[in-house]
Amino acid sequence: MAQEPGATDPAEPGHTRPDPAKPEHTAPDPDPRPAPVELSDLAALKALAQPRRQWMLQHLTVHGPATSATLARALGLNTGATSYHLRELARYGFVEETGAAGHGRERWWRAVPGDRRFPPRSRQSPEMRLVMDELNHHAYAADLELFEQLQWDAVDEPWADAFPYSRGTIRLTLPELREFFEEYIALLNRYKRPEADTPADARTVLTRFLAFPAQAASAEAPTRDTPPDSAPGSTPDTADDGRETETS
Task: Give the Cα separation of 135 and 126 in Å (integer).
Answer: 14
Whether 39 shows a pLDDT value over 80: the answer reads: yes
Q: Give pLDDT tens digits for 162-194.
A: 888 888 999 999 999 999 999 999 999 999 888
Q: Which of 232, 231, 233, 229 is nearest to 244 (CA)?
A: 229
pTM of the entire predicted model: 0.65
Q: DSSP class of residue 115? A: E
Does an H or E element contain 116, and which? strand 115-117
The gap between the terminal CA atoms of the chain, to the nearest Å, is: 24
Phi-psi region of 44 (alpha: psi -120 to 50; beta: other; left: phi over 0): alpha
Helices 79-91/68-75 angle, 10° precision: 120
Q: Which of 5, 11, 21, 47 is nearest to 197 (CA)?
A: 11
More confident: 106 or 129: 129
Least confident of 1-5, 15-19, 225-229: 15-19
Task: Give the Cα separation of 191 and 11 in Å (integer).
Answer: 9
Does an H or E element contain 96, and which? strand 95-97
More confident: 12 or 161: 161
What phi and psi, each to the nearest 5 degrees, are found at residue 9? -125, 55
96 forms bridges with which residues in the sheet?
Answer: 110
HSE at residue 139, side-chain half, CA atoms within 13 A, is 20
Distances (CA, A) of 51 to 2, 56, 64, 148, 161: 18, 9, 19, 19, 30
Task: Give the Cα separation of 11 and 6 in Å (integer).
Answer: 16
Task: Give the Cα separation of 172 and 175 in Å (integer).
Answer: 8
More confident: 65 or 6: 65
Residue 10 CB neighbour total at 10 angstroms: 16
What strands lie across the sheet with 36-38, from one edge to the other?
2-3, 115-117, 36-38
Q: DSSP class of residue 120? A: P
Average of pLDDT values for 40-66? 92
Whether 55 shows a pLDDT value over 50: the answer reads: yes
pLDDT of residue 7: 38
